[in-house]
Amino acid sequence: MKKQLSRSQLEADGFVGWATFDHLRNADPCPTSGGVYVVSRADQSAPCFLDQSCGGWFKDRDPTVPHDHLTVNWVEGAEIVYIGKANNIRRRLHEFAKFGEGRKIGHWGGRLIWQLEESPKLLVAWKETPGFDPASVETDLIAQFHAAYGQPPFANDPHRLGS
């Protein structure tokens, strides 16, 4: 299968940052404008899933997903594990990072990444989308990913999980 949406391709398309969530928690490198973001992994080996998510229990809901659901959603050979949108990139990524710390933050989308053992090493990149609706750009990116891999990114498919 042809590798699509790699870091080099995304950088050529204007994505910047490539920072860990820890870096995002402790610095403000992100713009406050709208745009899209991706979460990627550098290691292409098989994933190791944690039994318990470190994500926050928003509205008393456990973000943990059974291993068989994680396995079904896994996309072999893909660098990108999640594609998201934001009206304010900085605020959204700070919320995502805080959710990963176990705080009760409303960032249910993408929660599967917090069951990856390597979540502290995941990299986040973003692209501002002036003049374009971030939701439309996100939809296009997910469609490109789906065309290349036959399914959405690992953490972009909550309907398969029954929630």
Residue by residue, what is the 3-state secondary structure of 30-79? CCCCCEEEEEECCCCCCCCECCCCCCCCHHHCCCCCCHHHHHHHCCCCCC
pLDDT of 163 reads 43
pLDDT at 51 (0 to 100)? 92
The yes-or-no verdict on residue 60 having pLDDT over 60 is yes
The percent of residues above 70 in pLDDT, for the chain, comes to: 92
Mean pLDDT score, 136-154? 94
Kindly report, residue by residue over 68-80, the tens digit of the pLDDT: 889 989 999 999 9
Which has the higher per-residue pLDDT, 98 or 35? Answer: 35
pLDDT digits (tens, 9 = 90+) for 122-143: 999 999 999 999 999 999 999 9
Radius of gyration of the chain (CA): 15
Per-residue confidence (pLDDT) for residue 156, from 0 to 100: 92
How distant is the alpha carbon of residue 102 from its chain centre?
A: 16
pTM across the whole model: 0.90
Q: What is the pLDDT of residue 154?
A: 94
